[in-house]
Structure 1
Amino acid sequence: MRIITGEYGGRKLKAVPGNNTRPTTDKVKESIFNIIGPYFDGGNCLDLFAGSGGLSIEAISRGMDKAVLIDRDPLALKTIKENIAVTKEPEKFEVYRNDANRSLDLLKGKKKFDLLFLDPPYAKQEIEKQIEKIIASDLLNNKAIIICELDKHTHLKETIGAAISFRKELYGSTQIVMYEYINDQEETNE
């Protein structure tokens, strides 16, 4: 595993030891970022099931300002911190050991995000409920992108609240579903 491009491009990342996490392959990660825009002009990123932290680190490498990474596995947290150290910019990252749903309650009213990664363990997916909760908690900026990584047999709705699916891709047994959050109230104020 590595950081593909951007400020930290080419640096190696560690995978979480054991079988509790499933790292996003470099091929899938590169494809995701080629679709959503290879580089960013700032913004905040939330990685709700961070694993090794590879997706958020890639987002920061490509121009996001800050990333919040959440995982409850102690081995994942240790790996995330080791991978963040590779960037030599730990101030751009906040890492929390917490349950995904509980962390959403804690973030409510404190931060808003422009990019969201949802890559839960395949057997424990509640992606639609989590997106609904994220929207209800007002955690997304208008036009935020939501990236969901799931098993190829899992079906997600085309629209979840104000999040509208704009792309689906299959990579072997992995499916990527991308949503854009459109807040009509913010749209009319612009």
Structure 2
Amino acid sequence: MRVISGSARGRRLKELQGMDTRPTTDKVKESLFNIIQFEIEGRSVLDLFGGTGQLGIEALSQGAERCTFVDARREAAALIRENLKATGLEKAGRVVQGDAISFLSGCRERFGVIFLDPPYQTQLLEQTLELVSKIDILSEHGIMICESPAERELPPLAPPYEKGREYRYGRIKLTVYRRQGSDPRS
């Protein structure tokens, strides 16, 4: 697993052993960053189910201002710190070891980009989508990318959130949500 573009391009990232972490495949990661390539520069990013940290690290490598990584597992949080150091991006990353729902419930920060890639066999994706929209932590014109099994149908969210395109890659699906901004004409 490597960083595919930007300042840390080509740097190898360490992975967690075992089946508890399902890293995003290189093909899906490359497609994801092609989708949001013009949405990253200077933005604050939330990588909510950090795992190895590869999505947030890729965003930092491609010009995000900062990234908050959240993972409940101690070994995942430690690995994210290692991967940030290995890529030279540790100053722009903040690692929180803790439960995603608890983190969101206490969050007082807004993010321009949010990555949601929880374990597939849980209902965490739907729960976090609902909570993100309820507490409204995505900044105006922000983008949220969800990775899920291809057959899983994700819900629409209440305005100002809007469900956008879905992209399928074999058994994996990326769903894009956007937060609309205020209309300058009104």
Return the TM-score normalized by structure 2. Answer: 0.93
What number of residue pairs does the alignment pair up?
185
Aligned position for 1:51: 51
**In structure 2, how many angstroms separate the alpha carbons of the residues matched to 1:176 and 1:29?**
10
The Cα shift of 1:142 comes to 0.6
Query: Aligned partner of 1:160: which letter?
Result: L
**In structure 1, how many angstroms separate the alpha carbons of the residues matched to 2:33 and 2:146?**
13
**In structure 2, how many angstroms separate the alpha carbons of the residues matched to 1:134 and 1:188?**
24
Aligned position for 1:148: 146
**In structure 2, how many angstroms separate the alpha carbons of the residues matched to 1:50 and 1:189?**
39
Does 1:33 find its partner at 2:33? Answer: yes
**In structure 2, how many angstroms separate the alpha carbons of the residues matched to 1:70 and 1:143?**
23
Does 1:178 find its partner at 2:179? Answer: no
Verify the 8 A CA contact 2:143 2:176 in the aligned structure 1: yes
Aligned Cα RMSD in Å?
A: 1.7
The Cα shift of 1:119 comes to 0.3
Aligned position for 2:65: 65
**In structure 2, how many angstroms separate the alpha carbons of the residues matched to 1:189 and 1:41?**
26
The Cα shift of 1:73 comes to 1.3
Higher helix share: 1
Verify the 8 A CA contact 1:17 1:75 in the aligned structure 2: no
Aligned position for 1:161: 158
Aligned position for 1:20: 20
Does 1:7 find its partner at 2:7? Answer: yes
Partner of 1:187, secondary structure, is coil
Verify the 8 A CA contact 1:143 1:180 in the aligned structure 2: yes
Does 1:187 find its partner at 2:183? Answer: yes
Alignment gaps of 5+ in structure 2? none
**In structure 1, how many angstroms separate the alpha carbons of the residues matched to 2:37 and 2:69?**
21
**In structure 1, how many angstroms separate the alpha carbons of the residues matched to 2:143 and 2:22?**
22
The Cα shift of 1:128 comes to 3.0
**In structure 2, how many angstroms separate the alpha carbons of the residues matched to 1:187 and 1:86?**
43
Return the TM-score normalized by structure 1. Answer: 0.91
Query: Aligned partner of 1:138: which letter?
Result: D
Verify the 8 A CA contact 1:45 1:56 in the aligned structure 2: yes
**In structure 1, how many angstroms separate the alpha carbons of the residues matched to 2:173 and 2:127?**
18
Verify the 8 A CA contact 1:132 1:161 in the aligned structure 2: no
**In structure 2, how many angstroms separate the alpha carbons of the residues matched to 1:178 and 1:16?**
27
Query: Aligned partner of 1:4: which letter?
Result: I
Verify the 8 A CA contact 1:49 1:71 in the aligned structure 2: yes
Deviation sequence 1:76-115 (CA, Å, 0-9, x none): 11211111111223110010111110000221x2x11000
**In structure 2, how many angstroms separate the alpha carbons of the residues matched to 1:2 and 1:36?**
18
4+ residue segments displaced more than 3 Å: 186-190
Alignment gaps of 5+ in structure 1? none
